Amino acid sequence: MRKALRWLGRAAFGLLVVVITAYTLFPFYWAVVSSLKQGSALFEVEAWPRNPAWQNYALVFTEQPFGRNLFNSVIVASTVVIISLFLAVTAAFALGRIRFFGRTPLMLMILAVSMFPQIAVLSGMFELVRWLGLYNTLPALTLSYLLFTLPFTVWVLTTFMRELPKELEEAAVMDGASPWVICMHVFLPLLKPALVTTGLLAFIAAWNEFLFALTFTLSQEARTVPVAIALMSGASQYELPWGLIMAASVIVTVPLIVLVLIFQRRIVSGLTAGAVKG
C-alpha cells in the first residue's frame, strides 16, 4: 500500500515536471518551427515544416548588421549588470546591516523610482541623453537601464543581506575588519546565489529592453537586438517577415539559455560558508 502511494506520488511529480516543461517550452518550439518557414507556409499549422528554410538564419545576418546588434546587446547588458551589482552590493550592505536614521524612507524612495511607467520618463530621459551628448551611443542605454535595474537589485540584495547570520559580522568586527572588508570579503561570497540570480534577471531585463533602445538610438550600428528584430520588415509597410523575425528571436534566446546553464550551478550552490579569515 505504502509502496503504491510512493510510486503514485513519484508519477504525479513526473507528470508535473512534464506539464511545466511543455507550458514553458511550447511557444519556443513554435518559434523554432516558424523560423524555418517562408512565405505562405507560415499560414499553415504543421508540427514540423515540410521543407525547412534554414536560409532564414543566414539571411538574418546578411540583411542587417545583426552580428553588430548582438555585440551591442552583450556590451550594454554586461555593463548594466556589473554597474548595478557593484552599486547594489554596497548599498544593500548599508541598508541591510546598519541601522541609521532615515533608512526606511530611503528604501521607499529607491522603490518609488520604479513606480513610473517607462513611457512617462521617456521624454525627460530623451532630453537628458541628448544633453549629455550620448544620443545614439551605447552608454545612453547603459545609463537609462540603471533606472529599472538598480532599484530592483538594491532591494533584492538588501533582503538577502538581512538573512545572513549576525555572528559572522560580529566575529569579523572583533578581528578589526572594516565595513568594506566585511562587505566584500565576508558577505560577498555568501551572497553568490543571490548575486547570480539578480545579475541574471538584470541581464535579461537589459537584454530585452525595447522602448529606450528604440528612442535613444538612430543608426542600425548602434541598435540592440530587440529593436533590430522589431524593425525587421518585409517588402512593404504591412508585411512582416515572420520567418526572419522568429529566426532572430531563436538566435537571441540561445545565448541566454547557455548563460543560464553556465550559472545554474552557482544559483544553487547553497550556503557556502567559510569566508572568515581566522
Partner 1 sequence: MRNVLKGLAVATAVVVPTLAVAETVAISCGTVGQEFEQCKLGAEAWAKKSGHQVKLVSGPTDASEQLTMFQQQLSAGASDIDVYRVDVVWPGLLGAHFIDLKPYVSEDVLKQHFPAIVENNTVGGKLVAMPWFTDAGLLYYRKDLLEKHKQKPPTTWQELAEVAKTVQDAERKAGNDKMQGFVFQAKAAETLTCNALEWIDSFRGGTIISDDGKVTINNPKAVEALKTAASWIGTISPQGVLNYEEEGARGVFQSGNAVFMRNWPYAWALANAPDSPVKGKVAVMALPKGGTDGKSTGTLGGWQLAVSKYSKNPAVAADLVKYLTSAEEQKRRAIVASFNPTIASLYKDEEVLKVNPFYTSLLETFTNAVARPSKVTGAKYSRVSAEFRNAVHAVLSKTGKPEDKLKALQKKLESLGRGGKW
Partner 2 sequence: MSVPSGMPATTTPTATPAPPPASVSQLSRQRVRSAWLFLLPTLVVLGMVAGWPLLRTFWFAFTNANLSNPEPPQFIGLENFATVWDDPDWWQSVRNTFFFTGISVTLETVLGMMIALTLNTRFRGRGVLRAAVLVPWAIPTVVSARMWGWMFHDVYGVINAMFLHLGFIDAPIAWTADPRLSMAAVIAVDVWKTTPFMTLLLLAALQMLPDELYEAAKLDGAGPIRVFFKVTLPLIRGPMLVAIIFRVLDAMRVFDLFYVLTTNSSESMSMAVYARQQMFEFQELGLGAAAASMLFAVIAMFTVVYLVLGRSAVEEAA
Site for partner 2 in 42-101 (CB under 8 A): 43-45, 83, 87-88, 90-91, 93-95, 98, 100-101
Q: Maximum CA pair distance of the chain?
A: 74
Residue 219 CB-half CA count within 13 A: 8
Cell of 199: 545579475
Nearest one of 65, 66, 226 to 145, comparing CA atoms = 226
CB 197 within 8 A of CB 267: yes
The CB-side HSE value for 257 (13 A sphere, CA atoms) comes to 8
Output 55 or 90, the one with its CB closest to partner 2.
90
Residues that bind partner 1 (CB under 8 A): 38-44, 63-64, 122-123, 126-127, 130, 135-136, 214-215, 218-220, 230-241
CB of 13 to partner 2, least distance (A): 8
For residues 106 and 98, give the distance between their C-alpha atoms in angstroms, rounded to a whole number. 13
Residue 234 CB, nearest distance to partner 1 (Å)? Answer: 5
Q: Which is nearer to partner 1, 199 or 241 (CB)?
A: 241
* CB closer to partner 1 out of 9 and 39: 39
Residue number with CB closer to partner 2 (85 or 222): 85
Cβ proximity to partner 1: between 42 and 164 the closer is 42
Distance CA 224, CA 52 (A): 28
Give the nearest distance from C-beta 67 to partner 1 in angstroms. Answer: 15
Which of partner 1, partner 2, none has residue 142 at its interface (CB below 5 to 8 Å by kind)? Answer: none
Q: Using the rule CB under 8 A, which residue among 1, 119, 219, 235 binds partner 2?
A: 119
187 binds partner 2 per the rule CB under 8 A: no
Q: How far is CA 46 from the centre of its chain?
A: 32
Helix axes 138-163, 118-131, angle to 10 degrees: 120
x/- track of binding to partner 2 for residues 144-183 (CB under 8 A)? x-xx--xxx-xxx--xx-xx-xxxx-xx--x---xxx--x
Nearer to partner 1, 34 or 197 (CB): 34
Instruction: Give every CB contact of residue 146 below 8 A, 6+ residues apart in sequence.
Output: 80, 83, 84
Q: Give how far the C-alpha of residue 62 lies from the chain's centroid of Cα atoms, to the nearest Å.
A: 27
What, of partner 2, partner 1, none, does residue 87 touch, CB below 5 to 8 Å by kind?
partner 2
- Count of residues making up the chain: 278
Is residue 77 classed as helix, strand or coil in its secondary structure?
helix
- Binding of residue 1 to partner 2 (CB under 8 A): no
**Interface with partner 2, residue 127, by CB under 8 A:** yes
